[in-house]
Amino acid sequence: MKHAMLGPVLAVANQKGGVGKTTTSVNLAASLAALEKKVLLLDLDPQGNASSGLGVDKKDVKAGLYDVLVDEVPLQEAMLATGCDGLSLVPASMDLAGAEVELVSLARREFRLAQAFSAFQGERFDYVIIDCPPALNLLTINALTAADRVMITLQTEFYALEGLTQLLETIRRIKHALNPQLSMDGIVLTMVDRRNNLAVQVEKEVRDYFGAQVYEQVIPRNVRLSEAPSFGVPVLQHDIRSKGAQAYLAVARELIQRQASAMDDGGI
């Protein structure tokens, strides 16, 4: 682990939009918290969907990730408690979109988040989860530079693999140049509908190619998962018995197990 008090740090990434990064970040974080882990969720996407999904409006955010990245405000000052026991949030703020531009001219621009982690003083977190924006931009590069592991979410559809080569190449380059400790956590298949032949075929292709890197547990398409953010809560608090809630709990258990069995050199 790169950071003694924070970790492992997991970046949830895919430059493709709408593939379940935020739904996974929020619900995996909440599930880990439900399993009595202490979890910190970072909303690194200017859209602020992870923040609003936990009931935080980025218009009301006084200090968020912009302030951490650009003005070096300590992480702990931007941290909020959430409605879930054990889950804290560093929200996106209105100006996070501007951070992308401002970071370009700052010193050690790829390491701003890593630096904030190194300077962190506070309680220990068992997991840190970073919800990345749908782009391979400086925000995502900051996440990958600060992370121990990357989780990729893939929607099982015809174009699922499009862009994946570029994502894996970017991860390799960052590992090589900026963050040698970075490893692959795994691939989570989202919005899976096994009644759909194409989805079944895509799942098979992904599993054949990536093998054990793919989580056994998949996330089914489930309306409760898409409803929960409008109530500002994770699905566990919206409908704990739903297939979506149970699937994210199972992914959280699998994550903990994978870590324990340390199959984690995670071939990048």
Q: Which of 10, 27, 21, 52 is nearest to 235 (CA)?
A: 27
| Residue among 226 and 257 whose Cβ is closer to ligand ATP | 226
Which 98-157 positions form the footprint of ligand ATP (CB under 6 A)? Answer: 134
CB of 73 to ligand ATP, least distance (A): 24
| Residue among 22 and 179 whose Cβ is closer to ligand ATP | 22
**Using the rule CB under 6 A, which residue among 52, 93, 156, 190 binds ligand ATP?**
190
Rg (CA), the chain: 17
Number of residues that bind Mg ion (CB under 5 A): 3
**Using the rule CB under 5 A, which residue among 3, 21, 58, 238 binds Mg ion?**
21
Residues in a beta bridge with 189: 154
221 binds ligand ATP (CB under 6 A): yes
Q: What residues have CB less than 8 Å from 208, skipping those under 6 apart?
A: none
CB of 176 to ligand ATP, least distance (A): 26
CB of 87 to Mg ion, least distance (A): 17
Ramachandran region, residue 195 (left: φ > 0; alpha: ψ -120 to 50; beta: rest): alpha
Which 4-63 positions form the footprint of ligand ATP (CB under 6 A)? Answer: 17-23, 45, 47, 49
| Residue among 3 and 21 whose Cβ is closer to Mg ion | 21
Helix (H) or strand (E) holding 142: helix 138-146
Nearest residue to the partner Mg ion, using Cβ: 22
Full 3-state SS string of 75-115? HHHHCEECCCCCEEEECCCCCHHHHHHHHCCCCCHHHHHHH
Q: What residues have CB less than 8 Å from 19, skipping those under 6 apart?
A: 134, 153, 154, 155, 160, 190, 191
Tell the residue number behind the tokens 């912009």, with chain if given.
66
- Which parts of this chain interact with ligand ATP (CB under 6 A)? 17-23, 45, 47, 49, 134, 190-191, 219, 221-222, 225-226, 244
- Which parts of this chain interact with Mg ion (CB under 5 A)? 21-22, 49
